[in-house]
Structure 1
Amino acid sequence: MSPSLTTTPLAEFLTQENIESSPAWELIDGRVVQKPMPTLFHSRLQRNLMNYINEQTDRFEAIQELRCIIPPYSPVPDIVVIATERLSNEDGPFNGSPDWLIEIRSPDQSTLDLQNKILHCLRHGTQLAWLIDGNSQQIWVWEGESLPRIFSGTDLLPDCGLGLELTVERIVAMTRQKS
């Protein structure tokens, strides 16, 4: 599969072979786009943040690289956090927007493209979104329909009321933890 220059309908995209290959393919604005291969920084942060969230709550589940169906998009956020009562035992993509999504910007990813994906999810029910930029050691945060706020250093990050007490410094430190 190669990146699409023409508009692809969601139903057609979902029938394509290899959309779940690594790294996954997404449908954003009618364009078929493959996610970049994660770096060590990205992979450690994704694993450690997901594990930390799951250790702190039973009300939500953090899941990495889960395909969401939010017509006409099919994003695969780095981490989705979804209320457990919204999850089913059926295999396959998640139909709907996650309650909270977390994107970790890779060096070759466009911030504008990531923001576009985040805004689509927010328009369709996502309550909280983080865009983590390791290079600048900042996290852009959207809550509901509010404009994004930029957090850094010891700023306490919003977390859907879970009381995780995560700061940007603590998130950045997760990139150095082996597990």
Structure 2
Amino acid sequence: MVATVKSLTLEEFLQLPETKPTSEFINGAVIQKPMPQGEHSRLQWKLCEAINQIAEPQKIACAFPELRCTFGGNAIVPDISVFRWDRIPRQPSGRVANRFDLHPDWAIEILSPDQSQTKVLGNLLHCSQHGTELGWLLDPAEASILVVFADQRVQLLRAERPLPVPNGISLFLTVEQVFGWLSV
């Protein structure tokens, strides 16, 4: 017996209760992200901290972990979404809005052991197609970072290679420094 699955619209998906780990809506399909593990959590926390220490006090940008971003017909949850200060959705009171119906300026994904690199790279390419300036795909197993530029050019970086960051964010990191955070 074959079960038929009712296809959802983006709006129907957004009305569903949240799942743990979170689910994304990509090209009409609901896909649950894998549960983050130690390396993933450590890299996510350290990158958010490094970006926010540089960019937030000067009101340049802000890094958000696990934030649902809805744009271009998809609802994705990058591991880190960085928004320029003037693009952060706000409530009339000035507080951060709960819904982010726009692309991040910088999207960072951290590959989990059982995660498809193609699917995650597809999310970063979707971001760049809709205005994201820069994407990073960290692969802890390979100690490498794939960089996705706004024109969808992809570059693989390793070791002491400096990492590109969006204009105006004075963050200087190498691939080696990023993966060095895994040693505690």
- Please give the TM-score of this superposition, normalised by the length of structure 1: 0.91
CA distance in 1, matches of 2:5, 2:43: 32
Superposition deviation, residue 13 in structure 1: 0.4
1:14 aligns with 2:14: yes
Secondary structure at the aligned position of 2:138 is classed as: strand
For the 8 Å contact 1:82–1:98, the answer to whether it is kept is yes
Per-residue CA deviations over 1:72-127 (Å, capped at 9, x if unaligned) read 10000000110011113333221110000000000100011011111111111101
CA distance in 2, matches of 1:124, 1:114: 16
Per-residue CA deviations over 1:116-140 (Å, capped at 9, x if unaligned) read 1111111111010000001011100
Gaps of 5+ in 2: 92-96
Q: Quick one: which of 154, 158, 164 aligns to 2:164?
A: 158
Per-residue CA deviations over 1:20-61 (Å, capped at 9, x if unaligned) read x33111001111011110010000110011001100113010
Comparing 46-55 and 159-168, the one that deviates more: 159-168
Gaps of 5+ in 1: none
The 1:146–1:27 alpha-carbon spacing in structure 2 relative to 1, beyond 3 Å, is closer
Superposition deviation, residue 172 in structure 1: 0.3
The one-letter code sitting in structure 1 at the alignment partner of 2:175 is: V
Percent sequence identity over aligned pairs = 37
CA distance in 2, matches of 1:159, 1:35: 25
Tell me which residue corresponds to 2:175: 168
Let me know the Cα RMSD of the aligned residues.
1.5
The one-letter code sitting in structure 1 at the alignment partner of 2:35 is: M
Report how many aligned residue pairs link the two structures: 172
CA distance in 2, matches of 1:105, 1:176: 18
Greater C-alpha radius of gyration: 2
Q: Which runs of 4+ in 1 moved over 3 A?
A: 4-7
